[in-house]
Amino acid sequence: METFIIANWKSHMLLSQAQEWVESMNATLTSTSKKVIICPPFTLLPFLSVQKNMLLGAQDISPFGMGAYTGAVNGAQIKEFALYVLIGHSERREYFKEDDTILSQKVTLALEQGLTPIYCVQGKDTIIPSGIDIVAYEPIWAIGSGKAESCEQANEVALSIKAKNSIKTVLYGGSVSSKNVASFTAMEAIDGVLVGSASLNAVEFSAIIQNA
């Protein structure tokens, strides 16, 4: 089974910073056999899409198609640059008030465009729309807190998500670092990690890829 390592840059990074990041990450991205997917802000997708060895995801997708929806970036537009899209992150649920109805609309549109959604869930009972193959389990309290969940507990939740939804790939996210990443990827039911703040630093993110 492949090990997924997803970088979620959130609302961080300017073009100049992304250029430096790419330069420092080049050797690692060229040599790794792991599946590394970078999810930058929309503004950086065109720049990153022309770099070598770069698998990309968007951090969001419009719940509508092409049309008069000011500010929205739709699936066809994402597909020009990326293959994946994060949907259902707890920050989208909290700050942008996205609910299960909107999230399932986003999943439908992503799938229609041939994008692969990486669906974020906050617990074993979070509703998962149909058509999802990759789930990222991220307990809210572990995000950005420096306190990751125990790998045993995360494994339990991953097992339960797999059993309930017949999902093959479950990732763990929440304060993943180069120090703790191996404990998660060693778990039977955990197929990789979703990394927020630690993915912004190229040295740390390289170490995460190597240690995973």
12 is catalytic: no
Residue 89 falls in the annotated catalytic set: yes
The least distance separating ligand PGA from the CB of residue 69, rounded to whole angstroms, comes to: 26
The residues, any chain, with a CB within 8 Å of residue 212's CB and separated by 6 or more, are 3, 5, 34, 181, 182, 185, 192, 193
Q: Is 46 in the site for ligand PGA (CB under 6 A)?
A: no
Chosen residue from 103, 173, 181, 206 binding ligand PGA by CB under 6 A: 173
Instruction: Give min distance, CB of 205 to ligand PGA, in A.
Output: 11
For 15, 19, 77, 164, the CA distances from 44, given in Å and listed in that order, are 7, 10, 13, 36
Binding residues for ligand PGA restricted to 131-150, rule: CB under 6 A: 138, 143-144
Report the C-alpha gap between 130 and 134 in whole angstroms: 11
Q: Which is nearer to ligand PGA, 31 or 153 (CB)?
A: 153
Q: Give least dist CB 68 to ligand PGA, A.
A: 31
Asked if 196 is part of the footprint of ligand PGA (rule: CB under 6 A), the reply reads: yes
Name the packing angle between helices 15-31 and 202-211 (round to 10°).
20
Helix (H) or strand (E) holding 131: none
Whole-angstrom distance, CA of residue 196 vs CA of residue 177: 9
Q: Is 123 in the site for ligand PGA (CB under 6 A)?
A: no
Binding site for ligand PGA (CB under 6 A): 8, 138, 143-144, 173-176, 194-198
Show which residues are catalytic. Answer: 89, 138
